[in-house]
């Protein structure tokens, strides 16, 4: 064994401390506890198997989250055509539009000025609210939104991976963004502007 | 083609812009509308704040520092 070989036992311990974070991210993207567990287990296994390739140059978490993104996408591909992907709640978004806009297409209420929520002191709190709002998106909207914003996959590729038409994707993303905006207005920006 | 000109249309385009590139006509419609509409101007600012915040969140997820 070479002197530079990473200490597998210590790597395994470090990986185990990352598990809760990985699980949270996987669940946020996949919206299914069993799929998330599988993605995380596969990630940890791959990390241990690839230990020789991890030379400590990249930060451990950066490296492992990179693996997780691939494993999560595998799960999405695997399960995407299962009927569970179609869930209720995607059609009520028109109610939100009615709340936001008048019949003539004007805003019901003047949008409030938002200030950058990522200042040093409040960042962690804001991220918690942001994640809660993402969790509250209907599952299909949440999945495509996270594919865009966390996995950073372009829209055309998402359509291919999920086997959906681009017009459907636009509708899902539009509703997700509108809903997320409303959730953040109510739970973060509204409170903090007073 | 119907020219998008109310706040619902324009804010819809401002959201769509996060996921696809707008056509020249759409970009023009947005610019012209925002010149005179304070509400959509604010809405656009909100989309930019959110874009930046999501980027920071994404970067935060792959940092080693701190708990997630």
For chain B, give every domain's residue range.
7-60
Q: What is the mean pLDDT of chain A?
A: 87
Lowest mean pLDDT among A8-17, A92-101, A124-133, A160-169: A92-101
Share of chain A above pLDDT 70, in %: 86
Q: What is the domain count for chain A?
A: 2
Query: A43 and A14, same structural domain?
Result: yes
More confident: A92 or B4: B4
Q: Are residues A103 and A184 in the same domain?
A: yes
Q: Which whole number is the average pLDDT over A29-44?
A: 97
Considering only CB atoms, which chain A residues are within 8 Å of B12? 174
Shortest alpha-carbon distance between residue A82 and chain B (Å): 25
Q: pLDDT tens digits, residue range A132-180?
A: 999 999 999 999 999 999 999 999 999 999 989 999 999 999 999 999 9
Q: For testing the chain B interface, which of A17, A20, A105, A188 should be mutated: the one with the most B CBs within 10 Å? A: A105
How many Cβ pairs within 8 Å bridge chains A and B? 98
- Residues A84-92: contacts with CB under 8 Å, at least 24 apart: A84/A32, A85/A139, A85/A140, A85/A143, A85/A162, A86/A140, A87/A138, A87/A139, A87/A140, A88/A138, A89/A138, A89/A139, A90/A138, A90/A140, A90/A141, A90/A172, A90/A175
**pLDDT value, residue A4:** 47
Tokens standing for residue B56: 């920071």
A61 vs B6: CB contact, 8 Å cut-off?
no
Task: Report yes or no: B51 at the A interface, CB cutoff 8 Å.
Answer: no
When mean pLDDT is compared across A146-150, B5-9, B21-25, the lowest value belongs to: B5-9
Q: Which residue range is the domain that position A57 belongs to? A: 8-79
| Higher per-residue pLDDT: A177 or B63 | A177
In B1-68, alpha helices (H)? 7-16, 24-36, 38-62
Smallest Cβ distance to B42: which of A25, A111, A115? A111
- Kindly report the CATH number assigned to the domain that includes residue A25: 1.10.1740
Specify the DSSP element, H or E, that contains A144. Answer: helix A139-149
* B61/A150 CB distance under 8 A: yes
């Amino acid at each position: 064994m070479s002197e530079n070989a990473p200490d597998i036992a210590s790597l395994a311990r470090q990986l185990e401390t990352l598990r809760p974070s990985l699980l949270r991210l996987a669940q946020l993207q996949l919206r299914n506890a069993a799929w998330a567990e599988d993605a995380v287990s596969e990630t940890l296994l791959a990390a241990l198997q690839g230990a020789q390739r991890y030379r400590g140059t990249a930060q451990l978490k950066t490296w492992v989250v990179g693996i997780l993104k691939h494993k999560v996408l595998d799960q999405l591909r695997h399960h995407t055509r299962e009927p569970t992907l179609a869930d209720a709640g995607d059609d009520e978004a028109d109610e939100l539009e009615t709340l936001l806009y008048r019949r003539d297409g004007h805003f019901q209420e003047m949008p409030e000025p938002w200030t950058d929520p990522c200042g040093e002191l409040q960042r962690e709190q804001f991220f918690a609210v942001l994640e809660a709002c993402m969790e509250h998106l209907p599952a299909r909207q949440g999945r495509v939104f996270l594919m865009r914003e966390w996995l950073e996959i372009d829209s055309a590729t998402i359509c291919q991976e999920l086997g959906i038409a681009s017009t459907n994707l636009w509708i899902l993303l539009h509703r997700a963004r509108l809903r997320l905006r409303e959730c953040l207005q109510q739970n973060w920006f509204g409170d903090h502007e007073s | 083609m119907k020219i998008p000109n109310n706040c619902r249309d324009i804010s819809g385009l401002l959201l769509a812009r996060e996921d696809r590139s707008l056509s020249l006509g759409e970009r023009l419609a947005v610019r012209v509308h925002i010149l005179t509409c304070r509400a959509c101007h604010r809405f656009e600012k909100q989309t930019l704040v959110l874009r930046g915040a999501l980027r920071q969140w994404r970067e935060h997820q792959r940092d080693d520092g701190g708990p997630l």
